[in-house]
């Protein structure tokens, strides 16, 4: 069966540039590579077909022969689909470095991202604030502009790997690629290092930054400061700084997303007869009306007195949780009054303590059911 035209396989014209050829093969390789299409014979065939076409068209010598004589001009040189061939190994590994994260050539590495843990009070987290922080980091050496070489000199191309950062070792049919032992993957050698950074291209420093904390942040939120991380190697771009928010516990309020919770203790007189009292909010004092007969754990919601979320949405509520407090350290007179109150209430206990009487009835039924 006759072979398909190599230009047709890659979807390019016969005047395509080397960059166009490489781009076309990368697109097909990403789509049909066997690692991405396990047990797919059609994808495997398409991948081998594209690889063969790229092997020929990426070599100036083979491409010229193919353009003049067609498949007959290159059938002896295409080979069995290994990693050999003029120029194919380097180009192939470079492409698959882009796809799978490896690569045959050294790449400048962006500086590392940093994280700073910032503790805030609840008030500052809700209202927003500006905080000064001091961060240890690595910055580009000003003496050598990050190159690592002494001013007036420059890094030299590694003679072992030719600047690729990796070396290739042939092991039978396969070609194995390893990090260059001479330059350790950088592709360059510094023979005359900078006196300030000793060839590292970076120096340690502490820098002060101003962090704008937007209103409504909560535990776990992160603020990204672009370009404020560590400087990259050999003058590469800097990483980012992530400021991690930690909100300190508050003595009065608990936060649940946009809502604030506040526990409000009241005495038995206010719980029984009702009344009005002041409760705190982050915006100031508020009046809370307590109806007669309020039980412990009763919740009162005060609309719009909570937090406006940092990502938008309505302002939350302030929720007051009532706790009825049992009186302690009573005087003799107070005890006598309570005893009289208890005797008076006992005559109509169903009316005054419905929950207690309901519970007693349930308990009696439980024990009766155990006997039967």
318 in the same domain as 270: yes
Within a domain: residue 159? no
311 in the same domain as 227: no
Q: Yes or no: say if 55 and 49 are a contact pair by the CB < 8 Å rule.
A: no
230 in the same domain as 347: no
DSSP state, residue 311: T
Strand 284-290 relative to strand 275-281, pairing: antiparallel
Residue 335's region, left for phi above 0, alpha for psi from -120 to 50, else beta, is alpha
More confident residue, 143 or 287: 287
300 in the same domain as 278: yes
Q: Quick one: 67 exposed, middle or buried, by C-beta within 10 A (0-12, 13-18, 19+)? A: middle
70 in the same domain as 54: yes
CATH number at residue 131: 2.60.260.20
96 in the same domain as 33: yes
Per the structure block, which two tokens stand in for 18? 């080397």
Quick one: average pLDDT of 178-195? 83
Within a domain: residue 124? yes
Per-residue confidence (pLDDT) for residue 323, from 0 to 100: 93
Average pLDDT over the chain, rounded to whole?
A: 82
Read off the pLDDT of residues 291-313 as tens digits, 9 standing for 90 and up: 998 999 999 999 999 999 988 88
316 in the same domain as 337: no
Cβ atoms within 10 Å of 330's Cβ, excluding its own: 11
Q: Quick one: 24 exposed, middle or buried, by C-beta within 10 A (0-12, 13-18, 19+)? A: buried
Within a domain: residue 1? no
11 in the same domain as 50: yes
Within a domain: residue 174? no
- Give me the domain span that covers residue 127: 109-143+202-249
Residue 95: pLDDT over 70: no
Q: Say what the pTM is.
A: 0.58
347 in the same domain as 215: no
Choosing from 34, 67, 100, the residue where a domain stops is 100
State the Cα–Cα distance between residues 136 and 231, nearest whole angstrom.
12
Instruction: For the chain, list the strands marked E by DSSP.
Output: 114-120, 129-140, 156-157, 166-171, 174-179, 188-189, 202-213, 222-225, 241-247, 253-256, 259-267, 275-281, 284-290, 299-302, 318-325
Per the structure block, which two tokens stand in for 264? 């409000």
Within a domain: residue 179? no
Within a domain: residue 191? no
- Of the candidate ranges 98-107, 133-142, 163-172, the one whose mean pLDDT is the lowest: 98-107
Per the structure block, which two tokens stand in for 9? 């396989």
- Of the candidate ranges 85-89, 122-126, 134-138, 363-367, the one whose mean pLDDT is the lowest: 85-89
More confident residue, 185 or 287: 287
- For the chain, what is the domain count? 4
Within a domain: residue 292? yes
113 in the same domain as 241: yes
CATH number at residue 32: 1.10.287.110
Residue 332's region, left for phi above 0, alpha for psi from -120 to 50, else beta, is alpha
307 in the same domain as 339: no
Within a domain: residue 163? no
Per-residue confidence (pLDDT) for residue 104, from 0 to 100: 41
């Amino acid at each position: 069966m006759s072979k398909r035209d190599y230009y047709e396989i890659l979807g390019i014209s016969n005047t395509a540039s080397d960059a166009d050829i490489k781009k076309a093969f990368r697109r097909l390789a990403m789509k049909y590579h066997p690692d991405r299409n396990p047990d797919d014979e059609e994808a495997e065939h398409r991948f081998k077909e594209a690889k063969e076409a790229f092997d020929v068209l990426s070599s100036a010598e083979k491409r010229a022969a193919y353009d003049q004589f067609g498949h007959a001009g290159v059938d002896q040189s295409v080979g069995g689909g290994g990693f050999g061939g003029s120029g194919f190994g380097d180009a192939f590994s470079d492409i698959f470095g882009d796809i799978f994260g490896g690569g045959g050539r050294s790449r400048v590495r962006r500086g590392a991202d940093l994280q700073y843990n910032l503790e805030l009070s609840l008030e500052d987290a809700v209202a927003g604030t500006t905080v000064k922080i001091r961060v240890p980091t690595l910055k580009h050496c000003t003496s050598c502009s990050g190159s690592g070489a002494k001013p007036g000199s420059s890094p030299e191309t590694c003679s072992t790997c030719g600047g690729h950062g990796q070396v290739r070792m042939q092991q039978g049919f396969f070609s194995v690629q390893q990090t260059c032992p001479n330059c350790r993957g950088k592709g360059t050698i510094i023979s005359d290092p900078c006196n300030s950074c000793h060839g590292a291209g970076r120096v340690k420093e502490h820098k002060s930054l101003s962090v704008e904390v937007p209103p409504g942040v909560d535990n776990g939120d992160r603020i990204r400061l672009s370009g404020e991380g560590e400087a990259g190697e050999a003058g590469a771009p800097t990483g980012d700084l992530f400021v991690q928010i930690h909100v300190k516990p508050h003595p009065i309020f608990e936060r649940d997303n946009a809502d604030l919770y506040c526990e409000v203790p009241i005495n038995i007189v206010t719980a029984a007869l009702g009344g009005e009292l002041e409760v705190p909010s982050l915006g100031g004092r508020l009046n809370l009306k307590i109806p007669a007969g309020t039980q412990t754990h009763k919740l009162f919601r005060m609309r719009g007195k909570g937090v406006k979320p940092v990502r938008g949405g309505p302002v939350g509520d302030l929720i007051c949780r009532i706790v009825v407090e049992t009186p302690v350290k009573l005087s003799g007179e107070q005890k006598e009054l309570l005893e009289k109150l208890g005797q008076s209430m006992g005559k109509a206990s169903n009316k005054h303590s419905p929950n207690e009487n309901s519970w007693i009835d349930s308990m009696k039924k439980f024990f009766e059911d155990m006997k039967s």
